[in-house]
Amino acid sequence: MAPLMKGLTQFIVDIREAQDAEAEKRRINLEINNIQTKFSQPNLNGYHRKKYICKLVYIHLLGYDTVDFGLTHALALVESSVFSEKSLGYLAVSTLFPVEKNHTITDYLENMLDIIYSSLIKDLQSNNEEFNCLAVQFIANCFNVSNDEGHDYPVHSITKNHEDFPRWQEIVDMVYSLCCSPVSNLRVRQKSVAALLSLSKLFPSIIKANNNWIPRILSLVDDPSMGVVAASVPLIQFVAQMEPKYFKSILPSIARRLRSLVVEQQCPEEYYYYDSPAPWLIVSLLHTIELCFLCQETAPSVTLASLDRETVNSLREVVAYSIKNASQPVRGLPNRNSQSSILFQTVSLTVFLDASAEAIAGAVEALMSLLDSAETNTRYLSLDALIKLADRATSEGNYYASVRKSFSDNLPKIFKFSADKDISVKRKSLDLLYTVCDATNCNSIVTHLLDSFPHTEANLKPDVAVKIAVLAERYASNPEWYVTNMIRLLSMGEGPSGGSAYTGNEVWERVVQIIVNNENLQTMSCRMISNLLKTHSSSESLVKVAAFVLGEYGHKCDFDFISTFSVLYDAYFSVSLITRAMLLTSFLKISARQPDSDFVPDIIDLFEAETQSMDLEIQTRAHEYLQLMIEPGKELASIVLRPFPAFEAKSNHLLSRVGSVHRLSNRTRSSSNVAENKPRSNSDALARLRNVKSASSVALPIPEASDESEDPFAERSEDYTLSPNWYSGYLRMCHYDAGIFYENTLIKITYRVIKSGAIFTYRFTIINSAAKSANTEITRLTVLELQGASATTNPNFIIEMSQYPQQTVTTKTEMEIRVKIRNVVGINESPVLALSFMCGGSFNQLNLKIPVLMLKTLSAATSTNLEEFKKRWLQIGQELGSIDGESTVFCSTAHRYNSSNIVRLVSRLGLEVVHHSPDDTKNGILVLAAGILHTQNANYGALVTIKSTDDVGCKFEIVARCTAGGVAEALASSFKVIFDGGF
C-alpha cells in the first residue's frame, strides 16, 4: 500500500527530516489543515480518503491528539465494500478512538459500541469471509481490555440490567456461531475464537448463562485443524477454569493430541518449528493439563485416580518422550529452545502423573544440564522448573527419595547460581535452595546463605534473611545451633540507613519469641549477645534483641555486665526512636534487678535527661520510669516489672514474607524443630524444647475464603436437562441386565450389566446409526461428565469410567462404567452421563440418567422355605419395628399382570421366590421373596411381599423388610419405580 501513496511516503520523509520539534509541529499542522480541507470536499474518493486517514494515524502515533476529526472518516471506510478500505477503517477506528482518562471501562465500551455496532453486525452477518475476519479481529483487539495494563476495572462491566446488554448479547451470539459453526472458514474460526475469549473475559456471565455452549467450546480441542486448536487453547483454559467440573472431560482428547504430536510425530508440515512438531501447541496443551490438576474448589477437579488407564498411560508416555528428547543433543538454538520449553512444562506434570523414580531423576538431570547454558532465560526457566518439581514432590510419592538425592548431589551447582551475574537467576536459585532444604542438608544451605549474605545485593538481602530464619527454625538440630545462626544473621542485618531494613522486624521478633518460650536458651543467648555487642559493630536488629533479652534475663548470667551495659548505653544515642524506647525499658529492668550496680546512677541521669525529649513516647517513658526508680519501697516497680510470660501465638509471621515459593503447592510440610510444642524422642537436645508453645509451618496455606466472599468460579449445583426419551432406557436398565439404553437417528447405545457382589459394571456399546443412513462418522465423542448426587465425603457409592469410548466411531465403540455400592443408596442418587459428539457437521449432546440401585447387588437367599420366611419376617419386625425395618409402597401398573409375571420379574432382579399364588386364583396375587443386598460395608437380608389390591392385577402393595434401618425404604422405592413404569 505504501509505495502507491506517494503523498503519504513524502509526508513521512518530511517528518523524519525535521530539524527540531518546532519544525515537525509546523509540518504536522500544515498537513492537518490540508487534510481538513480535503475532507470537506464532497467528491473525495476511497483512495484519497485512505491516504489522508493513514497520515492521521501516523500523526496520532507520533503523540499528537489533534486528529480526532478523522474518526468520522475512518468509520466511512469501515462501511466500504472494498476490503482494503474496510481493513484500514477498522485499524484507524481502533487507533484514533479517544480514551478519556476520567472515563471508566464501561464508558469506553459504551462509546465504542455506539459508533461501531451497526458495522460490526453487518460484517459479522456478511457472507464475505474476509469481512467476517475483519470484524472478529477488531473485537478481539479492541474489546480485549481485561489485559490492558494500567487500568483496574471490574470484569463484569456490563450486566443484564444494562441498556446495552441486548446489543452485547447479539455480538457474543454471532461470534460464538462463527467460532463453532462447522461451515465457517478456518481463518474465520481461528479469529473468532480469539474474539470470543475477549468477550468472555468481559462478560463471563454470558458464557455461564449458556451452559450448552461450554461443551461445544471444549470440543474445539478435537478440531482437525491444528490452527483452530492452537487458537482455542486459551479460550478452553478460561472456560474450564470458570466451570472446573468440565476439566476431566477434555483430558482424554488432550492426551490423544499430545501423544500424536510428541510420540507419533504426526503434525502438518506447516506447523513444524524447525525440527520440532508444533512445540508451542504442545506447551499450551501441557499447561492446560497442569491447570486441571491445580484448579481446586473444595477438592481437586482432577486426580490421577479419576482418569482412565488409557489417558494416564498416554500422558506418562508423553512425559517420558519429552524428557528423553530434551536429554539428547540437538542441532541449532531454535531446536534446543523448543525442546527446553517442552521439558519445562513437562516437569510440572511429572509429580501429578506419579511418574517413575527413573523418569523424575532423568528430568532433574536434564534440567541440571540446562543450567550450564549461556542463555540467562534458559537458566532462569530451568531453575523455575526445578522449584516446581521439588516443591510438589511430597514424601507420599515413590519418587521422593530419588528427587531429594538428585538435589542433594547437585547442591554445589545450585550454590554457584546464588552468585550469578543476573539477579533474577540469583532470586530463583535462592527459591530453589529454600524448596529443597530438609533436615539432611539444612546445615549446608543455611551456612552457605549466611556466608554469602554480606555480599548479596541490597534488594535481595531481606528475602535471604527471611529464608534463613525460617529454615533455621524448621530444621534446627539443637537449640544452640539455632540461636547461634540467628544472632549471627541479626549481627549482619544492618540496613543502608542504619536501620533494620535487611532483616526486618519479623526476624528479630521471632528470635525473641523462641528465646522467651525456651528457658534453656535464655542464659546462653545473653552470653552470646553480650560477646557480639563487644566485638562487632552492632546492627539495630541485634540491639533490639539485646534490649529485650538482656533486660529480661541478664540478671541470670554471671558475666561482667558493666561492659555490656556500656555498649548498650553508647548504642542508645545512635539508634531509632523505637529502639531507644526499648532500651529505656531494658535499662529500667536492669536497674531494678541489679540496684547496687555502679551504672544505676547513669540510668537515672538518662531518664532525667529524656524527660525533656521532643518525642512524646520517649518523654513519657522516661518520666514514668524515673518515678518508679525513685519511689520508696519499690513495691510498684516489682508489680510492673513481672517476668515476661510465654508467647501463645501459633502463627509465624515470617512466613508472610517468604515470597511466592509456597504458592506452587498446597501440601503442608513438617513443623518447626525449634518452635514445635512436642518432645522428640530421638534427641535429648530437642526434647528440651518441648515447652515452647509456638508452632511453625513453612509451606504457607492458601487463605480460606470467608463466608461473605463468593467464589465466582465455584461450581453451582444445577439440574441437568435430560435428553428426550431418556426414561425408557433408564427404566429398562432398572430390571433388565441387557438391552437398549438410548437410541435416535444418529446413535444407538446398548448395555450389559456384569454383577459381582457389591460391584457391578455397565458395559455400553455405542453404535453409529448414521453410518447406514448417511454414511457419516461420529467424531469428537467425549464424556463430559459422570457425576451423581451422592455426597462427596463418605459417598454411598463410587462410580468411575473404567473404559472411555473412542473419539471417532465408524461403526461402534465400547465404554465401561464401574459402580461400587458402599452404603445404602437412595433412588434419587442416580448419576447423569453427559456425552457430546459431532455427526454430519452438527453438535449433539446427550444427558442420560444411569440407574444406580441396590437392586443390582441382590442375590438369592438359598434354601429359604415359607416357615423360615415367616420366622425372619417376625424377627425383623420385633427387632427394628415397622419404622426402621419395614417400608410399604403402593403401585399402579398400566397393564394387567398375573402371579407368573411377578415371579419372573422377582427372579430376574435376583430374589429367590419363596411362595407365590396360582395364576387362576380368585384371591388375588401374592408373591413372597427373599434375598441378600450386598454393599462394601455390610450385607443386609431382604424380605419382600408383593400383593395385589384389586381384582384385575393392576394395583399392588409391596412391603419390604430388611435387617438394617433405611435399607427397606431404598428397596421398596426401587420396586415402585419398576412397577409404575411397567415391565
- By C-alpha distance, which of 338, 391, 347, 398 is closest to 368? 347
At 285, is the secondary structure helix, strand, or coil? helix
Pairing of strands 858-860, 886-892: unpaired
Gap between the Cα atoms of 625 and 608, Å rounded: 10
- Supply the DSSP symbol for 855: G
- Supply the DSSP symbol for 644: P
Write down how long the chain is.
983
Question: If you search the block for the grid coordinates 540478671, which residue do you land on?
Answer: 555
CB atoms within 10 A of CB 93: 22
- By C-alpha distance, which of 542, 468, 529 is closest to 500? 542
Q: CB of 70 within 8 A of CB of 96? A: yes
Count CA atoms within 13 Å of residue 316 on its CB side: 18
| Region for residue 399 given its phi and psi (left: phi exceeds 0; alpha: psi -120 to 50; beta: otherwise) | alpha
Cα distance between the two ends of the chain:
76
CB atoms within 10 A of CB 594: 16
At 617, is the secondary structure helix, strand, or coil? helix
The alpha helices in 678-740, defined as continuous H runs, are 684-687, 726-735
| Region for residue 48 given its phi and psi (left: phi exceeds 0; alpha: psi -120 to 50; beta: otherwise) | alpha
Phi, psi (rounded to 5 degrees) for 796: -75, -25
Provide the CA 655 distance to its chain's centre, in angstroms: 21
- By C-alpha distance, which of 891, 914, 749 is closest to 817? 749
Question: If you search the block for the grid coordinates 542464659, which residue do you land on?
Answer: 523
Gap between the Cα atoms of 393 and 376, Å rounded: 26
C-alpha cell at 448: 552457605
- Give 17's contacts (C-beta < 8 A, 6+ positions apart): none
Q: CB of 805 within 8 A of CB of 781? A: yes
- By C-alpha distance, which of 793, 852, 784 is closest to 818? 852
Phi, psi (rounded to 5 degrees) for 813: -150, 165
As annotated, the binding site includes: 38, 47, 51-55
Phi, psi (rounded to 5 degrees) for 935: -135, 170
Q: CB of 317 within 8 A of CB of 812? A: no
